């Protein structure tokens, strides 16, 4: 699986750690930046680039997911969710990471680097990446409604 990762300055240490951990675990990791610490950096571009890469890979039929990191993960999740086809979920524990995949087929996870130890954040990321989408009809239906709204600004089925 290919994993696209992006961060801001607050998640840079976690990003470096995760890149090493995930590569050692057999993932193909693509870093969308930043490459060095800058307390004034702007995360939207990095996170949007990672999300666009996930969407493109998935559209091409590749197995790909994304990770966006920041101090809280909130802004990074918001930025990633602006990309068509992306369902980014903020995960703060193992349950929210797993449920994001099981119920929402989230393809990007956001984690706050200032909210967790490296070990905790790594567990959350590992849980997200390992968890499959359930494929349950109700979840498929709901995701389709979100995609419909994203495409044309309306939901016909309720």
Strand partners, 2: 28, 64
What are the strands, taking DSSP E only, across the chain? 2-6, 28-31, 64-70, 88-90, 108-112
| SS3 at position 91 | coil
Cα 127 versus chain centre, distance = 12
Query: Is 76 in the active site?
Result: yes
Residue 103 bears catalytic tag: yes
Catalytic choice (4, 9, 76, 116): 76
Chain-centre distance for alpha carbon 97: 10
Catalytic residue among 17, 21, 103, 139: 103
Find out whether 48 and 23 touch, Cβ atoms under 8 Å. Answer: no
- Alpha-carbon distance of 133 to 142, in angstroms, equals 13
> Active-site residues: which are they?
76, 103
């Amino acid at each position: 699986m290919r994993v696209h990762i992006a961060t801001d300055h607050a998640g840079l240490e976690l990003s470096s750690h995760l890149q090493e951990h995930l590569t050692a675990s057999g993932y193909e990791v693509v870093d969308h930046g930043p490459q060095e610490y800058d307390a004034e950096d702007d995360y939207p571009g990095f996170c949007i680039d990672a999300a666009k890469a996930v969407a493109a890979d998935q559209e091409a039929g590749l197995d790909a997911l994304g990770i966006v990191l920041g101090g809280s993960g909130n802004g990074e999740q918001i930025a990633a969710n602006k990309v068509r086809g992306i369902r980014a979920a903020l995960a703060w524990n193992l349950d929210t990471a797993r449920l994001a995949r099981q119920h929402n087929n989230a393809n990007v996870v956001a984690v706050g680097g200032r909210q967790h130890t490296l070990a905790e954040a790594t567990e959350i990321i590992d849980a997200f990446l390992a968890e499959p989408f359930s494929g349950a009809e109700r979840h498929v239906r709901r995701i389709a409604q979100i995609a419909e709204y994203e495409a044309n600004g309306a939901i016909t089925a309720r």
